[in-house]
């Protein structure tokens, strides 16, 4: 007697036929899709047109690319100290780090309280919309412009850099923090309200503990941004630090080997910050 097969192999031809019999889904052509495609094609056309119509001043583009690659090779394979020492470089990096740390701390503290008022599940709808609208306007203006605006009152230097970077950091973190708070399950908040908890108890016993990982992540992300901005502000606003040394090496001395040294310093600091951020996040990680 033959043994009956319980799981016979499917007929592949029938499977293929069933697949072919299914109707083909075609995305409808609507107004939004047409506008997006026209915009993308227009940008592509303008890019190609700009590449061929740009006035290169009798400069051979391919030779310029080769020269650039040679400069990069010299920059990163032959770094040296010429106009400052290793100790002075460490001091300059510490100044830039101090600017980034100071602006991030100020921005995070102010943004935390504003974000609690901006979160729609914790605040009034009108207050939330007003705060979000204001920080959106602030966030739309680049940090450099805010620094230059405050430089009118405080003068070029570290003070204007700190105020301008803090101002932009607050607007950035308010959006990030408030969206993290709004991810909290509304049922948890309603349960705490039903048990008699007041607003501050809800914030410190439910909202912040459940969002601590996101808060740390966004704060360190902004800290990395502020570190990069502080480098630029060292030259643009006269705030000092490693950014000013890079500006002098590139625009005044034109020492590309020294630029390579400064770049390595910045890269090492950025890697150390990323490692530190990962370890802190893993330590404060909580199960929600």
Residues 122, 236: one domain? yes
User: 241 lies in a domain?
Assistant: yes
Q: Is residue 3 part of a domain?
A: no
131 and 269 inside one domain = yes
Same domain, 259 and 125: yes
- Are both 53 and 186 inside the same structural domain? no
Alpha-helical regions (H) of the chain: 12-21, 31-53, 61-77, 86-118, 125-140, 143-154, 158-182, 186-194, 199-202, 208-236, 242-247, 256-283
- Same domain membership, residue 154 and residue 66: no
Residue 79 CB-density burial (10 A; 0-12 exposed, 13-18 middle, 19+ buried): middle
**Do residues 96 and 238 both lie within one domain?**
yes
152 and 203 both lie in a single domain: yes
Confidence band for 286, pLDDT divided at 50, 70 and 90: very low
Residues of the domain holding 218:
83-283
pLDDT score at 40: 92
22: left (phi over 0), alpha (psi -120 to 50) or beta: beta
Max mean pLDDT among 33-47, 199-213, 227-241 falls in 33-47
Domain count, the chain: 2
For residues 232 and 60, the model is more confident at 232
Q: What is the CATH number of the domain that holds 237?
A: 1.10.3720.10
Residues 235 and 110 in one domain: yes
Does one domain contain both 129 and 66?
no
The reported pLDDT for the residue numbered 1 is: 46
Residue 97 has pLDDT above 70, yes or no: yes
pLDDT digit string (tens) for 17-45? 555 556 555 566 677 888 888 999 999 99
Please identify, among 57, 75, 93, the residue that sits at the C-terminal boundary of a domain.
75
CA–CA distance from 100 to each of 105, 127, 148, 164, 207 (Å)? 9, 30, 17, 12, 27
Same domain, 55 and 134: no
Q: How confident is the model at residue 204 (pLDDT cuts 50, 70, 90)?
A: confident
Do 97 and 60 lie in a common domain? Answer: no
Task: Clarify whether residues 88 and 38 are in a common domain.
Answer: no
The answer on pLDDT for 108 being more than 90 is yes
Q: Is residue 20 part of a domain?
A: no
Tell me: pLDDT of 164 over 90.
no
Residue 24 in any domain: the answer is no
Rounded Cα–Cα distance for residues 47 and 174 (Å): 36
């Amino acid at each position: 007697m033959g043994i009956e097969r319980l799981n016979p192999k499917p007929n592949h031809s029938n499977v293929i036929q069933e697949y072919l019999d299914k109707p083909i889904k075609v995305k409808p052509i609507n107004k939004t899709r047409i506008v997006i495609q026209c915009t993308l094609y227009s940008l592509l056309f303008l890019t190609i047109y700009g590449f061929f119509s740009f006035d290169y001043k009798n400069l051979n583009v391919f030779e310029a690319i080769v020269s650039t690659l040679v400069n990069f090779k010299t920059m990163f394979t032959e770094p040296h100290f010429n106009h400052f020492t290793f100790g002075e470089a460490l001091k300059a990096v510490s100044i830039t780090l101090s600017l980034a740390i100071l602006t991030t701390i100020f921005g995070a503290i102010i943004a935390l309280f504003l974000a609690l008022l901006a979160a729609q599940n914790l605040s009034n709808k009108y207050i939330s919309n007003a705060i979000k609208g204001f920080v959106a306007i602030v966030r739309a203006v680049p940090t450099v412009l805010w620094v230059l605006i405050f430089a009118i009152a405080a003068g070029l230097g570290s003070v204007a850099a700190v105020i301008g970077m803090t101002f932009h950091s607050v607007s950035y973190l308010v959006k990030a923090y408030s969206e993290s708070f709004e991810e909290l399950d509304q049922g948890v908040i309603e349960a705490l309200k039903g048990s008699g908890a007041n607003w501050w108890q809800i914030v410190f016993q439910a909202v912040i503990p459940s969002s601590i990982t996101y808060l740390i992540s966004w704060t360190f992300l902004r800290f990395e941004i502020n570190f990069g901005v502080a480098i630029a502000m060292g030259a643009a606003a006269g705030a000092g630090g490693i950014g000013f040394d890079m500006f002098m090496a590139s625009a005044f001395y034109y020492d590309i080997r020294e630029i390579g040294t400064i770049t390595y310093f910045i890269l090492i600091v950025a890697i150390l910050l990323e490692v530190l951020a990962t370890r802190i996040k893993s330590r404060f990680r909580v199960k929600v």
